Every structure is written in structure tokens, then in C-alpha cells.
Amino acid sequence: MAQIGKINELTVVKEVDFGLYLDGGKEGEILLPKRYVSDECKIGQKVKVFLYFDSQDRIVATTELPRVSVGEVAFLKVKQVNRTGAFLEWGVPKDLLVPYAEQRIPMEEGRSYCVYVYRDNSGRIAASSKLSLFLTEDNDFHFKRGQEVALMVCSRSKLGYTAVIEGSHLGLIHNSELLQPLRMGQKLKGYIKSVRDDGKINLTLQKQGEEGIEEIEERILAFLSSNGGISDLTDYSSPEAIFEQYRISKARYKKALSRLYKARKILIDAEQIRLA
């Protein structure tokens, strides 16, 4: 069955001067305009296309795949603002509308925002920057403490940064967890730090617990092995220097060094550490 606002594989059923018609099931035959038709496209073959509504609200296909589909979140740039709302560039000839009622803050031309793409009550494709209306902030037993997850930074508050978790949930990276400034739309790896009693999810950018420290130890030993057994990053080094090399906090680096020293795997002095 053809899904509007998503990528489909549809069969070519008719060839005309201005393109091909694809089998859209209950949606009927859907036009793939001639500018998207390759010489290899023949009747009976399947074609990967994205389905959307053109300016006359007709379903049309394109082989130019968008940056985001219905049910997904993306960081998109505003191309134009008018009386209807803001229009975003998303890789499809017809720009994506964010109605004024769906703007968390008023959108400005030339700026980019995290938005959720959906189909409105009339079936048209639209977007909203009010992510909490579409993504849950409650864990609902979906994630476990310590689980590695894909994140997209979507907004900032006094408490920290809100991030989209695996495209389906919202969580908070507290200011105390930050090792560097984050930017809107940034994609990065994170971990579930905890789930509060009210179901809200706290995030961290560092692997927690014993397993996390062991991983840091392995990285330190690997770095020493590849650098003649010596490193000038000691427990006196700056947090910035440690983060630049290992992307971890100074506290966790010092803990890993201490464990390696107690295990007699490294030697530490004021200016360098060495493989034992």
C-alpha cells in the first residue's frame, strides 16, 4: 500500500509522454514526472520514490528523496515566512509548511529548527516544532539505565539541553553533564542516565558505571601503546586537553588513571604517564 509522506517501492504500470504512472494501490495511479524517469524504468519494474502532494494537492512521486519523512524529526532551514506560516527546505520541490499554531517560537527566515513531520487532519503533510505534542517525555519502559542511544539536540533551557532519543522520546541532558557546548540539530551518541519517578528521562554523554571506566582504561592503554608508551596527559592536565583527546571528563580520566596505576599497568609522575 502506498504511504504518502514516506519512501515507497512502487511498480510502473503505464508509460506516457510526460512520465510514468505507478501503482499506488487504493491511492490509484500516481504520476512520476518525466524529469525523474531514467532510461531503465520500464513497465513492471519497481521504483523507489517519495510520495507527497503537489501545489494542486495531487499525489505525485519523486525519486529525489527528502531529508525527513512523516513520523520523523529533522533539523531544517526556513526558506520563507508568509501569512500562512514558515516554509522549510526538505529536499522536495514543494516546501514543508509549519503553521503558526505549530511553532514553539516564531520562526525566522534563514534560521534552522528541529521539527516533527506529520499529516494534519486533512491529510496534508506539515511540520511542527512543538515536539512534545508528538514525542513522549515518559520512558514507558522503553529504555533501560545505561542503554546507548542516538540523540538529536533540539532545544535549550536553564536546566540543560532537550534531545530527541532514537526519534521517539524526549530527554534532558543536564548542564552538569556537559563537557562542551552543544548546538541545535547536533546528532551524537548518548546514554540513559536515569529515569525519574515521574517517568522523565535524564541523559548523559558518557558511559556510566564500571563498564564505562573499563572502556576508558582500554583507550588510555591503546593511546600509550601507539605513542611509544608515553603520554603528557596526567591527572594535572586541563579538562580541555583531556576532553580533546578522549571526549571524557577530567574526573573520569583521573579515576581510570588511578585504577591503571593500582593495577601496575602504568607509572605516573608530574609531567607524564608511562606504560609500566
User: What dotted CATH number matches 148-204?
Assistant: 2.40.50.140
DSSP state of 212: H
Q: What is the pLDDT along the chain (276 residues), one digit of tens a residue?
A: 789 999 999 999 988 989 899 999 999 999 999 999 887 788 999 999 999 998 888 999 999 999 999 999 999 999 999 999 999 999 998 999 999 999 999 999 999 999 999 999 989 999 999 999 999 877 666 888 889 999 999 999 999 999 999 999 999 999 878 877 899 999 999 999 888 888 889 998 887 766 677 878 888 888 888 888 888 888 788 888 887 777 777 777 888 888 888 888 888 887 888 888
pTM of the full structure: 0.78
**Per the CATH hierarchy, to which homologous superfamily does domain 7-62 belong?**
Nucleic acid-binding proteins (2.40.50.140)
Please name which of 244, 232, 211, 213 lies closest in space to residue 274, comparing C-alpha atoms. Answer: 232
Q: Under CATH, what is the fold of the domain 209-275? A: Arc Repressor Mutant, subunit A (1.10.10)
d(CA 104, CA 129): 5
d(CA 201, CA 28): 44
7-62 and 73-133 share one CATH topology?
yes
d(CA 212, CA 160): 23
- Report the amino acid identity of residue 56: Q
d(CA 253, CA 260): 11
Q: Where are the domains of the chain?
A: 7-62, 73-133, 148-204, 209-275
**Per the CATH hierarchy, to which homologous superfamily does domain 73-133 belong?**
Nucleic acid-binding proteins (2.40.50.140)
